[in-house]
Structure 1
Amino acid sequence: MAGLGVVLDGHEVLRGVEVDVAAGRFVGLVGRNGSGKSTLIRAAYRALRPYRGAVWVGGDDVWSLPGRRAARRVAVVAQQEPESAGFTVAEVVAMGRIPHKRLFSADTLADREACDRALDRVGLAGYGQRLAAGLSGGERQRLVIARALAQEAPLLLLDEPTNHLDVRYQYDILALVRSLGLTVLAALHDLDLAVQFCDEVYVLDAGVVVAGGDPVEVLTPELVADVFGVDAQVVAHPVSGRPRLLLSPRSADVGSDGGGRGVFGEVGSC
């Protein structure tokens, strides 16, 4: 994304945003509520038109392409997915093949094979005839990832993919995406998960990228305090040895009546 600017209701939500996602890398977007994370994701999959800048994928700005061609470049797992009541798992995954087909055309062998591969990659092989509405939260998230995989686009966008899942499924979903070796741009609200799973992170603050790079190098105590208003410390996990980010209220806020609760409110939904 180069020089991306987006205006909503007369307010400039993104200003000159530059984000680079190299092939095969898992890149995270982090920031407080209203920082522009979801707006950037929505601009990248053509749900919000930027007033300036470009979203380059495969040498083309996706906004310059016809809709179906753009959908062959970018797949998305949105924050609010459409209801799948009445659809089977196989039917939901097959929706990912729409950009590759003519209107009302039947599924081809290539379509069916792409859907089967997608379900197998997310661990849902054999689920095809089950109703999507009967799946657990974690299984439904795997299903929409499978639909995106069936789309066979070179870039996968995730808009806060773990925000409605319990702890186990948060780890399962991000570990799954990481294991697939895809090119991913994900808006994340949990800084510790970003440290654990992302190759790089970009920090958004009031619609501007204020830092980008290796998560451990970017999410320093100074930056976290300045952007998120909490204290942070990077520690090694006692078993795996991998870096973890520990957060706590600012020392000045501890014991304060409104400030401490206000800070926790930001952290819980950043």
Structure 2
Amino acid sequence: MDQKSILERFSDILTEAKFLIQNKSVSVYRFQEEQDPNDYGFPWKSKVPESIEIQKKQQKENQRKNKDLVNFSCTLCQGKLSGVRQFLHKGRKPILVLHYSGATSPKEKPFTKTKPNQIFKDKLTENSWGEIVGKVFGFSFEELFYQEYPACTFSHTDSKDTDWQQRVENCKFHVKDTVEEYGIKSIIILGSSAKLLFGGEKAKDLLGKQISWDLSGLSVPILITRSPEALVFLGEKAKKTDSESNLFQYGKEKQELEESFISHLSTLKPYL
């Protein structure tokens, strides 16, 4: 077939196609198991950008859904190694406990949570804290909110005091977010978190005291107290001693520490 014949044939096909299209008589070849093209739906979506308000609302919703992982994507601090796993434990009582399971000095060993819903480093600490909370409030310690402060891990061998001060200052952002979202009425700051925030000497002076804490314009009452790990430490020392006098001394110190915990936490009852 020469070129002229091909063009004539093509012209005839176009003429026939025009007639079939005008009369809606175009048949589509398909296999028996295939769906009829007329049964397909083609949803339409506008390409007009969403309003800023809608975008912010969606972003807020995504942040709420990914609350447990927000510290992993946080970029507020330099030198960050990783976010602390399970950094937020959601309770039902409006009191937030700030603590830190990471290492802050060369003497400490790095720690990583490995169990679901783990709050403290070990079961002994949880049991000791649980007994105190139970005596004071009459409910499980898991009823309170807990948050790692700071919420990430850093080098415990290379970090300076000024580095930690900047990190806890930056991390107020996440604390404020938790306070606002869950209606927190008071905050307990334990051990190492208090030391990082105020420094060792000032944290010691503030033990058992309630003060107001400014979170970027939001004032929240806070209570500084020791970490329940101190109770575990005294208990372990008592087990290892062979001296009755030392055993008595450790027992006395532990009892005094328990009484101080009870006294401190009792001041928070009005917030429940």
Q: As a proportion of its length, which structure holds more helix?
A: 2
TM-score of the aligned structures, taking structure 1 as reference length? 0.24
Higher relative contact order (CA 8 A, sep 6+): 1
Structure ID, larger Rg:
2
TM-score of the aligned structures, taking structure 2 as reference length? 0.24
Q: As a proportion of its length, which structure holds more strand?
A: 1
